[in-house]
Structure 1
């Protein structure tokens, strides 16, 4: 089959120019273009093989996931009991997760209250310290002012 495409796996002026430019820019690009020129006609078969292999692997994963989620024992009564128990356990898990979230919220509120109390204590001590320093400055300033006035 003869192809008239500009870029095809053959020694055409376009592919040779792209290979040379590829080597000049970054050698792996030139090497990739050379590989395309030499083995590009096999690319379609390779792609088909890879797609088929990938499809088989994914189908295997899907089968494994279906069988692992609820393998049937053949006993309908046991399978029904097991499904009910799994649902009950899922509900218990949901309740435990809700309780954990509530506890996390409670602990966050306690930390916030403790931090607020510590901050208010710091601010009260700071205000007290500023008041004492201000009073000392006033007393010192009054004495100094009185000495110069006299």
Structure 2
């Protein structure tokens, strides 16, 4: 028994168009959300990552961090514990940076994989039409 790939991808496909129409019929904001997904769905991940990166470098983040330090996350008075906590927080930040880098590398890998798949599908389409591949693939 095989399973079919039932993902809904951004773009004007019969499924997304049908969902958009049903959304407008049921409750107009749903249809509007589906229209936004059709038009800009492929950009949502990069928009979220850009917003996250923007927050990391924002001056407001510094203000929020300093507020956190003064509302219970400051020094406890136990020097050994405070030093341990600072070392552990630094280690966790380094681990998070490594994971972020790995995520970015994986995202780049997936983008390249999608590009290669799209190129293969396009080459097959052109070959089926009798024109051969449009450009030689590297």
TM-score of the pair, normalised by structure 2? 0.44
Structure of greater Rg: 1
